[in-house]
Amino acid sequence: MRKAFTVSICLAATALLTQAALAADAEKGKAAFTAKCALCHQVGDAAQNGVGPQLKGIAGRKAASVADFPGYSAKMKELGAGGFTWTDEHIDKWIADPKAMIPDSPMALAFPGIPDANERADIIAYLKTQ
C-alpha cells in the first residue's frame, strides 16, 4: 500500500511538472531570470562566469562542467563526476530549493529558491533558448 501511495505521488508530481513545462513562456522566463538569476549567472553567446558559472547550454550539460569556473562545491563536483546532467527536472529541483539538494553549496547559502512552479518552468524554457 505504501509503495502504491509513493508511486501515485510521483505520478502526480510528474504530471504537474509536465503541465507547467507545456505552459512555459520563455519571454516570461527571461524576465524572471533577469530579476532573480542574472546577478550571479550569465547566458548567451558572450556569457562569462560570475559569482556562479555561466549557464549557456545548461540544458543537458553535466553538472560542474564549466572548466574555468572555480566555485563549484565538492558535492556539485561529485554529482558531475557521477554523470549527473541538468535535465528539466534537475534544473527545476535545483532552482526550487538548492538547499534541499546541496545544503552547503554557495547557491544554497545565498539563494532561497523559487517556490512558484510556473515561474521555474518559464526560466527553464528561457534557459533552453540559450
Q: What is the CATH number of the domain that holds 69?
A: 1.10.760.10
Enclosing domain of residue 47:
2-127
The pLDDT value recorded for residue 20 is: 46
> For the chain, what is the domain count?
1
The pLDDT value recorded for residue 9 is: 54
The pLDDT value recorded for residue 2 is: 55
The pLDDT value recorded for residue 23 is: 83
What is the percent of the chain with per-residue pLDDT over 70, rounded to a whole number? 83
pLDDT in tens, 46-104: 999 999 999 999 999 999 999 999 999 999 999 999 999 999 999 999 999 999 999 99
Is pLDDT at 36 greater than 50 in this prediction? yes
Rounded to the nearest 10 degrees, how much is the dihedral formed by the CA atoms of 94, 96, 101, 103? 110
